[in-house]
Amino acid sequence: MDGTQTQQLETRRHLTVQVAPRGAGMSVVKDFGIPMADGSILSANRYLPQMQGPVPIIMAMTIYRKELHEVHYRVFDAIPNTHLGVMCFSEDATFEGPDPAFWVPHGYGVIHVDVRGFGKSPGRAAPFSKQAFEDFRDAIEWVANQPWSNGKVALSGVSYLGLSQYFVAALAPKGLVAINPWDARTDRFRSDYLGGIPNTVMSRYIFENFTIPSLNDPGQADTLRAFTDMAAQPRLITDPVHAERIAMMEGLKNVTVPTLIGGSFSDQGKHSRDAFENYMRIGSKDKYLFAHRDGEWGAYYDPAGLALQRRFFDHFVKGVDNGWDVDQAPISLRIHRTRTAYHMRTAANWPIPETDYRIVHLAGSEQLAAAAPGESGMVEYDSNTGAAHFDMVAQEPMDIAGHIALTLWVELTEGEDTDLFVGLSKLDREGNTVHFLGESGNNPNDIVSRGWLRLSHRGEAPESKPWRPVLAHTALQPVQTRTPVRARVEIHPTAVHLEPGETLRLIVSGRSIQPADLAMGFEERINSGNHRIHFGGAYDSALSLPVIPASKSS
């Protein structure tokens, strides 16, 4: 049913890795030991300014071998049109972590530490575990007490090097004064099981290409492979196997140090959602969120990203009066018009306080209408090959920025359960799809945002809001054939601008909306027969859109 025209897909590669030699004026110590509370020793590298007294330290703890960086980025050479951007760092950088060549000349020391069981740190490899974050706490407290440290420790890094910051900060280590988690997911259950659908490719892809090759003991590889087998793991969050991670999530409210979160709209399904969830969850009174739609690493290492990080650390770690507390809004985000064109917006909080949650209703003639249809209607498509779409043509300039909720009445012609893949796409005035960067930058031809739901997982958690469904995953709700059921789908946060005459398209399907699944995928789907989408009359199928006052272009 989708007759969308499509602009020329971007197929040109945009990935450059530039590695510079070590800069002058740096004191370097490789592979020294940091003692843990249980007597274990973790391997670390230290970079300090020469001819200076004690300095503040920026730390990162990695599961990817602290000496490696460029080789990991080269994994993406196999993706011909990857758009990860330009990464510039020195030979002393660690993958996804702070580069000493930038920070040391600005008066900081840098410490890279191998997580227990990885790189040159022996022991049982248990990433994402309480033990790993308690190790990080011990390392921070040890570093803060060294004569070359002034007692102040900050943290910085991307992905695993970001999520570990949240969980160790919740343990309140002595000496920790600020954190900078960048594109980091903390709710692994909800990203490993998107709407209850097992994301069978993503974790396995990451572990096979980055984590397992970084093990200290290769004999532990099969244990980690079992850890990444989402199809074999318990599907309800109440299972004891998930208890530790749930307890750690509940502890995020104890994060009270100043926090600068780097978030992206370009990584739906992996990192995007949690940047905003973590901002709302942590307890810090000094918390800031910068949201972009670039490749996650390019945004972390580019001059603008580094300048933002430095201003944050200078203010909260060094106490520099640089205007941060006056000039820096708690929320700053890029609202994209196209893949490369955007304007900046700032706000006092998240969700943006001025948000108007505008309800548009699924209606006949494949439309999204302001008024609910008086008569009921239905659209049917093959759950394995088809899709339905509903369009809203903008009548005025619109900035849509925030959480999106879809209420949907679904009927199955066969089977007892089904998978729903939902997307939002933008069309220009000629009906061509407008593409955006997605999947961390691996996909330059992505849509605006995505959502997922396995229908039996439609039960919602107490923290659900009208504008943001949160699934409970505590019990399965049966689905009866040929009986419409009501469900709400969380569409991950996004920021997009529409001009009058441009179209926002809602897509509902039983399979991933292409192009997708470059670094993630769903090998287990349970669809059969047709999906029937009901709307109008007694069926309140509708989309909640977070519309904020439109700004002028910039």
| pLDDT beyond 50 at 268 | yes
Collapsing DSSP states into helix, strand and coil, what is residue 447?
coil
Q: What pLDDT is attached to residue 110? A: 98
DSSP 377-399: EEEEEETTT-EEEEEEE-SS-EE
The encoded tokens of residue 143 equal 């570093």
| pLDDT beyond 50 at 554 | no
Return the beta strands (E) in 293-372 as ranges. Answer: 331-336, 342-347, 356-363, 367-369
Burial of 254 (0-12, 13-18, 19+ CB in 10 A): middle
* Residues making up the chain, counted from first to last: 554
| pLDDT beyond 70 at 3 | no
Collapsing DSSP states into helix, strand and coil, what is residue 402?
strand
Q: What pLDDT is attached to residue 78? A: 82
Among the listed ranges 274-278, 293-297, 538-542, which one has the minimum average pLDDT value? 293-297
Are the CB atoms for 388 and 1 separated by under 8 Å? Answer: yes
Q: If pLDDT is split at 50, 70 and 90, which confidence band does 1 have?
A: very low
List the domains of the chain with CATH numbers: 15-347 (3.40.50.1820), 354-548 (2.60.120.260)
Q: What is the reported pTM?
A: 0.96
Q: If pLDDT is split at 50, 70 and 90, which confidence band does 8 have?
A: low
What kind and span of H or E run contains 491? strand 485-498
d(CA 74, CA 63): 17
Contacts of 144 (CB under 8 A, 6+ apart): 57, 151, 152, 153, 173, 174, 175, 176
The dihedrals phi and psi of 113, each to the nearest 5 degrees, come to -125, 135
| pLDDT beyond 60 at 284 | yes
Residue type, 323: G
Closest CA to 243 of 129, 124, 125: 129
Q: What pLDDT is attached to residue 7? A: 57
| Average confidence score pLDDT of the chain | 94
The encoded tokens of residue 12 equal 């040109």
Q: If pLDDT is split at 50, 70 and 90, which confidence band does 518 have?
A: low
Q: What mean pLDDT do residues 443-470 have?
A: 96
Question: pLDDT, tens digit, for every residue of 194-232?
Answer: 999 999 988 898 999 999 999 999 999 999 999 999 989
The encoded tokens of residue 432 equal 């061509």
| pLDDT beyond 60 at 37 | yes
| pLDDT beyond 80 at 461 | yes
Q: What pLDDT is attached to residue 517? A: 63
Q: What mean pLDDT do residues 340-353 have?
A: 96
Q: What pLDDT is attached to residue 4? A: 46
| pLDDT beyond 90 at 458 | yes
% of the chain surpassing 90 pLDDT: 87
Contacts of 42 (CB under 8 A, 6+ apart): 33, 34, 36, 113, 114, 115, 116, 121, 135, 139
Question: pLDDT, tens digit, for every residue of 87-123?
Answer: 899 999 999 999 999 999 999 999 999 999 999 999 9
Question: pLDDT, tens digit, for every residue of 474-516?
Answer: 999 999 999 999 999 999 999 999 999 999 999 999 999 988 7
d(CA 533, CA 520): 27
d(CA 305, CA 319): 20
Q: What mean pLDDT do residues 291-311 have?
A: 95
Are the CB atoms for 160 and 62 separated by under 8 Å? Answer: yes
Q: What pLDDT is attached to residue 127? A: 96
